[in-house]
Amino acid sequence: MGKRLKAFQQAHGLDGFAVKSLAMGLVFAVIAAACLGQLALVQLLEGKATAQAATNARTVKVVTTANRGRILDANGTVLAQSVERYNIIGVPDAATAFTPVACGSKQAETLGYCHQIDGKPVGATGAAAVARLLAPVLDMDAMELGARLNGTGQYAVIKKDVTPQVKRQIDKMGLYGIVYGELSSERVYAENTLLGALLGGVNSDGHGAAGLEQTFDKTLSGTDGYTVYQRGGGGQVIPGTVTESKDAVDGKDVTLTIDADVDWYVKKVLSEGVESSNAQWGIAVVMDTQTGGIVALEDSDQIKAGSDEAKLSVSRAVSQTFEPGSIGKVPALAAILQNGAHKITDKFTVPYEYTKSNGQKFHDAVEHGNEHWTLAGILQNSSNVGMVMASQNVSSQQRYDMLTKFGIGQPTGLNLPGESKGVLGTPESWDGRTRDTVLFGQGYTVNALQLTRAVSVIANGGVMRQPSIVKSVTDADGHVTGKTGDAGTRVIDENVSNEIRNAMESVAEEYRKTAGVNGYRVAAKTGTAEVVGATGQLTSIIADFSGIIPADNPRYVVTVVMLDPDGMYGGTTSGKLFAQIGEFLMQKYEVPTSAPRTDAIPVDW
């Protein structure tokens, strides 16, 4: 090679420098040709793909979250709603390169903003400076905040669910391209523990996790929308780059049959009653007999809607089951009368204790001699012995059939999370004693809603209406879908129902001092049942009271249940709370006072 170069040099009369220059020129020419070739390749062959890749990098699909529908009471009071909130997002790549703008500098004059803390320089650069500026506004630790911003990437969640006011403060801080807010929402509920576990709560994705939020999740949720566009460095939309979008459809509002004012008062009465009687817990239900709507549904548990406890709990008013005790004599009396075994005026001589032919012994709660009672009197005096004697010609199947017709052991149809239908064995499963204990509310269990529904049959002239908790549903366009009227199902003849209500009114007169409501006639039944306590033995007492008010023109059924109250008996414990709730209902809804009673069925002879 060297000989050839020397020969070329001699042949053309070139010195060494000229040769080197020529060689370098050739090298640069080759490099230039390669660059031009690559440029041509990029522009002519790969240009479209490169541009598309850049566009794809900037293009985002942003979901527009649908607003979750509200839950309202019967009067339009908001019980649960979603409010505007923002998730604050940081861009670590931009935060790392951040340099604060000094106040008073020419740069500050040009930009129209500067960065300082309490009138002093920030004293740092990069993620640490951003963290120092944001920490007071977000009420966060600057070290923790800085750790979230210190790194690489375009997206880091700094804090969720901040208010619009906080977001506006951040917008004014001159942190463009470094920090921005994404629209979000937060579920908020009525204050205190009103309907806490019943309302339930939502999970981190905004979907119902418990209670009514879970029951009506599909109705409340709506459908999210989206927008596809190219985003600039600060997360802003580049004008003219929106290529696709779909509007979000907000969820529907659910209006309940529950009256928040009544429910609040019921909660107050329950809480005070449980405390004053040293009871373990209390439950109350108010049902509108004319519509089947649940006006109040409360328990004494102090759980706030939306809390972790609410999301992990179910309403005791829905889930708690118990033996109803002597309130169970109502469907049993219906079985006697409806099947023609006896008339309400039939006369009985009732001893304190009674032994059946199969050897089973029964006795009444209070010792007494032989009493001359009609069947109405047996109910008034809540005689277990009298019910067993009067049911001799009522078969086990007839007893079972009547209990199921009254809704015992049957779902209420409300489909509330955690709702139990209780336990009612079949006649084939009853032993020689259970066959008779079901006559006075032992040997099966119910919840408070079922018990209220059963008593409502007597209030409605023998017809059972389907209980409801939803009054209407309203979509985002304001279209309202109301609850269709429920004609109900006939359970017993109207005259049988009227006779039982008459006898229940005689029961209520026995408790006028503790459970009476001035100016209004009441038809009621009390219950007291031994139930299993903490030791597994029959050491606890269920004391319940369910009444119709007014008895002469039924409007409401109110049921109150307590566990282990001082005084034990339902009429003197839960009955007191019934009277307070009943009086409130009559006053709030301005129900006309009752006419004097003139048709009482004889209770003794």
Cα distances (Å, whole numbers) of residue 10 to 16, 19, 20, 331: 10, 11, 15, 130
- In this predicted structure, the answer to whether residue 279 has a pLDDT above a threshold of 70 is yes
Cut 0.85: pTM above it? no
Residue 194 gets which letter from DSSP? T
- In this predicted structure, the answer to whether residue 21 has a pLDDT above a threshold of 70 is no
Please indicate whether residue 225 or residue 401 has the higher confidence score (pLDDT).
401
Q: Write the pLDDT tens digit of every residue in 440-479.
A: 999 999 999 999 999 999 999 999 999 999 999 999 888 9
Quickly state the pLDDT bin for 225 (edges 50, 70, 90): confident
Please indicate whether residue 224 or residue 554 has the higher confidence score (pLDDT).
554
- Characterise 60 by phi-psi region: left (phi > 0), alpha (psi -120 to 50), beta (else): beta
Residue 429 gets which letter from DSSP? G
CA distance 601 to 236: 81
Quickly state the pLDDT bin for 150 (edges 50, 70, 90): confident
Quickly state the pLDDT bin for 238 (edges 50, 70, 90): confident
- In this predicted structure, the answer to whether residue 274 has a pLDDT above a threshold of 90 is yes
With residues binned 3-state (H G I as helix, E B as strand, rest as coil), the percentages for the chain, rounded to 5, are 40, 25, 40
Q: What average pLDDT does the segment 365-374 reach?
A: 96
pLDDT of residue 498: 98
Cα distances (Å, whole numbers) of residue 78 to 58, 216, 579: 42, 16, 28
Q: What average pLDDT does the segment 176-195 reach?
A: 86
The fraction of the chain above a pLDDT of 70, given in percent, is 89
Three-class DSSP category at 523: strand
pLDDT of residue 559: 98
Which of these ranges, 91-95, 119-123, 152-156, 570-574, has the smallest mean pLDDT?
A: 152-156
